[in-house]
Structure 1
Amino acid sequence: MEGRWTEEIEARFDAYVDRLVKVIGHADRAEPLRDYCTGLLLPVERKSVEPLAAVVRPDRVSAKHQSLLHFVGQGGWSDEALMACVREQVLPVVERDGLVEAWIIDDTGFPKKGKHSVGVARQYCGQLGKTENCQVMVSLSLATETASLPVAHRLFLPEAWANDAERRRKARVPEDIPFRSKTGIALDQLAAAIAQGLPPGVVLADAGYGGAADFRQGVTDLGLAYAVAIRPITNVWRPGEAPPPRSRTHRRGPRPGEQKLPKHAHQPVQVKALALELPDSAWQTVTCRQGSSEPLGGRFAFLRLCCANGDGLRANPSPELWLMIEWPQGDPEPARFWLSTLPADIATTELVRLTKLRWRIERDYLDLKQQCGLGHYEGRGWRGFHHHVTLCIAAYGFLISQMETIPPSALHHPLSRQKPPIPKAYIPRGAPRSAAAPCP
């Protein structure tokens, strides 16, 4: 039956896992690696360690639970080596229908109760759309028009955690992991991807990253082009305008970066205010790609201008770049804003298409959480968190590698691989023992 877990796919899965086994070191890690990845692909409601043990070895749940718990929580294997092996197997499949076009930076949150799980704090959680108790992970994905694959991930460690020696000790945070902002982690991931020789692409990110001038400059310093979302209050110079040359050379008075512009000089403007000034002729409808039922696009304006570097008062503005504004027909005000260093002669349809390719990271997170249990890890330690994420990406990578075998509609829900029956006597941890028959 189409979309089912066939013997052919089983053989491909075995070959895929065999290559992963070769990079994790000790031979005794082979079985838990295979079992963990198998469990992540089974239709299990909760994919934390104990339920996975129950479905892969229903006859030896307790022993398997301990084996998987040690493998993911304390195993000394390398996340980077396993991620590299996943890339080697999956990227060639991803690039069959088109070359990598985008490097997508984003973060995702994992709601958590309590305060002991590594990195947990009250911070913005994208999954909930509000500030809540959660962990936040920063990731980098490589994307084509038809597929994408996460290639790097790291837990964001808030300053309260990074500076608390006792909490670090209990969560076994490595000593060489200091506090690093999300934008700093993202720049580290981009630099590592360049060093690894990964297929280049334009950097895409939401306003949490694109709104930071130091992040945009960091991307440029790495030699990469970007198309990133910005906040409506971002300051820019109107097309054809720039701050006047700085004439003050002596030390007295305001620092050069804080000088006040003459009242008669033109002033920088926020991008939202600039959008409201534009005439109707500045707006055009652009179609960027074909949706499932109809073409997708929107109403946009495109301007070539200089960014005012945040404060609008510096005498050396950024080089000229693209400002792209989206204002849906009928909405009372502009909806979204982007800055891009893509070439000045790029077609506007191509500029929109590449910028909008960031939707693929949302698909990555959705599938990783719904299909592979990305947010289900219940351990508290640094190593276990990253090991679980790496194994989820490995399982997800296998699904991507089978896109031609398994139709896309089948990837929106768990693969219909047969799930081993759980013994009737099995009692989940925390359940009252009277809820089931006595264990044999």
Structure 2
Amino acid sequence: MIRRSWMIGASIETTLELWASSLREVKGRMSGLFTQERVAASANLFLDGLLGDERRKTGWMRAEAAGDPGPWRQQAILGRGHWDADALRDIVRVYALETLADDDAVLVIDETGFLKQGKASCGVGRQYTGSAGKITNCQIGVFASYVSRHGHAFIDRVLYLPKAWTDDRDRMAKAHVPDKVGFLTKPALALTMIEQAIASQAPFSWVAADSVYGVGDIEMALKRAAKGYVLGVNANHPFSSWGKSLAVAGTAKDIAEALPENAWRRLSAGDGTKGARLHDWVYLELADLDADVFDAAFPGIWTRGLLIRRNIADGDLAFFSTWCPVGTSMEKLVTVEGHRWAIEDSFETAKNELGLDHNETRSWHGWHRHVSLVMLAFAMLAVIRYRANDATPQKRPRMPTIKI
């Protein structure tokens, strides 16, 4: 069951022990969601199937691994059974944060696509997804990932419903979408997840997201909550400064093009699969603001800024609106932006190895149940990785031999 890609620095024996104990623990945590033991047993087998060696996590594949004659018990967990997917989401968050929590953590918001055929799957439609790099028939899920020096894991998720869905109540009813669910933009969904993370007292100091989420209500909410941010914005987003030695005004693109070459600094946004992810960067402080200016309940001076990233190979530019305590370095902001890579890595791992996009249900609750179970499996792997590394003795320098 333990793939080579999941092995860490600990010995095989230690990893096996951590795997067995962690699997027992997560199954025990979710057992209270189910009123019948047979349903809990099926959920346990479902989790085993997600973590198994099968590349496709279909109902038939999971059933075969569980020794069932057909996929019906596996499908019942996602469809006919009665249990609360949001309660499992909360269990995942608590479980992950017990190990990964850090006050300087970054909450990363991003979305991913689930390619589909037909029109019946909840939320499906022709829409753009970065997963395919084009407009195609798919569902879109918006996710929050908790990223700290201890590791990273998903702690929230929600299925995006286009207006073509929310304006069609019959279609919504057929997909078992709760009556209270209406149309919300992706930034509005992200803001709800951020507010839930804050309300749950998840410790984090930063939020990072791409340009889909970069302006509007999210910025103001984070300012009032004393959370720094590095949020992507479009090239035509306007910026202006005041009270700073370098006066700038105009669109992000115009400001970048007017910068002298010596303004750029080459920095790493963190290590990727091929080593340091190097880019050229510029950080412009635009204004210092006292917290009481934006009705915050905490004291202090914070700085609004513009962070610009330039690709070394082709000169492609990316722009970020920033908010941070006064005196925060550009290196810190670059590191925060670089944490967005963690959620991209999470999507890839969850899809390729845990079946995140192998959901065969068409309903609202089926999508959220499947995704929440995958989140639990992913969080378990993150916890095992941390505990395995923590259990690995640090190599001590070899002491020179003293001859007498």
Common fold by TM > 0.5: yes
Q: Secondary structure, in 3 states, of the residue corresponding to 2:137?
A: strand
Q: Secondary structure, in 3 states, of the residue corresponding to 1:136?
A: strand
Give 2:261's aligned amino acid. Answer: D
- The answer on 1:28 being equivalent to 2:38 is yes
Is the 2:30–2:91 Cα contact (8 Å) retained in structure 1?
A: yes
Root mean square deviation, CA, Å: 2.5
Distance across 2 between alignment mates of 1:236 and 1:280: 20
Distance across 2 between alignment mates of 1:373 and 1:285: 38
Distance across 2 between alignment mates of 1:347 and 1:306: 15
Name the residue aligned to 2:25. Answer: 15
Distance across 2 between alignment mates of 1:197 and 1:99: 11
- The answer on 1:38 being equivalent to 2:72 is no
Is the 1:110–1:135 Cα contact (8 Å) retained in structure 2?
A: yes
Aligned CA distance change for structure 1 residues 85 and 161 (closer, same or farther; 3 Å): same
Name the residue aligned to 2:233. Answer: 230
Name the residue aligned to 2:402. Answer: none
- What is the TM-score normalised by the length of structure 2? 0.83
The partner residue of 1:322 within 305, 311, 328 is: 305
The 5 A counterparts of 1:348-427 are: 348-404=330-386
Give 2:195's aligned amino acid. Answer: A
Q: Secondary structure, in 3 states, of the residue corresponding to 1:175?
A: coil
Q: Secondary structure, in 3 states, of the residue corresponding to 1:6?
A: helix
1:288 CA drift (Å): 4.2
Q: Which moved more, 1:166-175 or 1:220-229?
A: 220-229
- Cα deviation code 1:306-363 (max 9, x no counterpart): 69xxxxxxxxxxx9511011223464x4511111101231122112111211111101
- The answer on 1:279 being equivalent to 2:289 is no
1:68 CA drift (Å): 1.8
Distance across 2 between alignment mates of 1:149 and 1:359: 12
Distance across 2 between alignment mates of 1:133 and 1:396: 26
Give 1:379's aligned amino acid. Answer: T
Distance across 1 between alignment mates of 2:18 and 2:193: 36
1:215 CA drift (Å): 3.2
Q: Secondary structure, in 3 states, of the residue corresponding to 2:385?
A: coil
The 5 A counterparts of 1:21-420 are: 21-57=31-67, 60-62=68-70, 65-95=71-101, 99-210=103-214, 212-238=215-241, 268-290=249-271, 294-305=275-286, 321-329=304-312, 331=314, 333-404=315-386
Give 1:383's aligned amino acid. Answer: H
Distance across 2 between alignment mates of 1:372 and 1:272: 40
Give 1:230's aligned amino acid. Answer: V
Q: Secondary structure, in 3 states, of the residue corresponding to 1:180?
A: coil
1:31 CA drift (Å): 0.6
1:379 CA drift (Å): 1.2
Q: Which moved more, 1:350-359 or 1:155-164?
A: 350-359
Is the 1:239–1:303 Cα contact (8 Å) retained in structure 2?
A: no
Is the 1:100–1:142 Cα contact (8 Å) retained in structure 2?
A: no
Distance across 2 between alignment mates of 1:301 and 1:11: 47
Give 2:235's aligned amino acid. Answer: P
Name the residue aligned to 1:256. Answer: none
Is the 2:141–2:159 Cα contact (8 Å) retained in structure 1?
A: yes
1:374 CA drift (Å): 0.5
1:400 CA drift (Å): 1.3
Q: Which moved more, 1:174-183 or 1:216-225?
A: 216-225
Distance across 2 between alignment mates of 1:85 and 1:350: 31
Is the 2:113–2:130 Cα contact (8 Å) retained in structure 1?
A: yes
- Cα deviation code 1:281-315 (max 9, x no counterpart): 322222343556644432111111269xxxxxxxx
Is the 2:113–2:139 Cα contact (8 Å) retained in structure 1?
A: yes
Is the 1:137–1:153 Cα contact (8 Å) retained in structure 2?
A: yes
Identity %: 27
- Cα deviation code 1:385-422 (max 9, x no counterpart): 11000111111111112115668xxxxxxxxxxxxxxx
Aligned CA distance change for structure 1 residues 389 and 292 (closer, same or farther; 3 Å): closer
Name the residue aligned to 1:316. Answer: none
Aligned CA distance change for structure 1 residues 334 and 100 (closer, same or farther; 3 Å): same
Distance across 1 between alignment mates of 2:367 and 2:217: 29
1:180 CA drift (Å): 0.8
Give 1:346's aligned amino acid. Answer: T
1:112 CA drift (Å): 0.7
Is the 2:113–2:138 Cα contact (8 Å) retained in structure 1?
A: yes
- What is the TM-score normalised by the length of structure 1? 0.77
Aligned CA distance change for structure 1 residues 175 and 330 (closer, same or farther; 3 Å): closer
Q: Secondary structure, in 3 states, of the residue corresponding to 1:300?
A: strand
Name the residue aligned to 2:399. Answer: none
Distance across 2 between alignment mates of 1:9 and 1:192: 30
Name the residue aligned to 2:297. Answer: none
Q: Which moved more, 1:184-193 or 1:78-87?
A: 78-87
Q: Which moved more, 1:43-52 or 1:120-129?
A: 43-52
Aligned CA distance change for structure 1 residues 61 and 293 (closer, same or farther; 3 Å): same
Q: Which moved more, 1:139-148 or 1:199-208?
A: 139-148
1:34 CA drift (Å): 0.5
- Cα deviation code 1:129-174 (max 9, x no counterpart): 1111100011111111351111111100111101101111111111
| Number of equivalenced pairs | 364
1:120 CA drift (Å): 0.2
1:183 CA drift (Å): 0.6
Q: Secondary structure, in 3 states, of the residue corresponding to 1:342?
A: strand
Q: Which moved more, 1:232-241 or 1:334-343?
A: 232-241
Give 1:322's aligned amino acid. Answer: G
Greater strand percent: which structure?
A: 2
Distance across 2 between alignment mates of 1:330 and 1:127: 23
Is the 2:239–2:252 Cα contact (8 Å) retained in structure 1?
A: yes
Distance across 2 between alignment mates of 1:354 and 1:330: 22
Which structure has the larger Rg? 1
Q: Any stretches of 5+ residues in structure 2 without a counterpart?
A: 289-301, 390-404
Q: Any stretches of 5+ residues in structure 1 without a counterpart?
A: 242-265, 308-318, 408-440
Distance across 2 between alignment mates of 1:54 and 1:171: 28
Distance across 1 between alignment mates of 2:365 and 2:341: 29
Distance across 2 between alignment mates of 1:111 and 1:207: 22
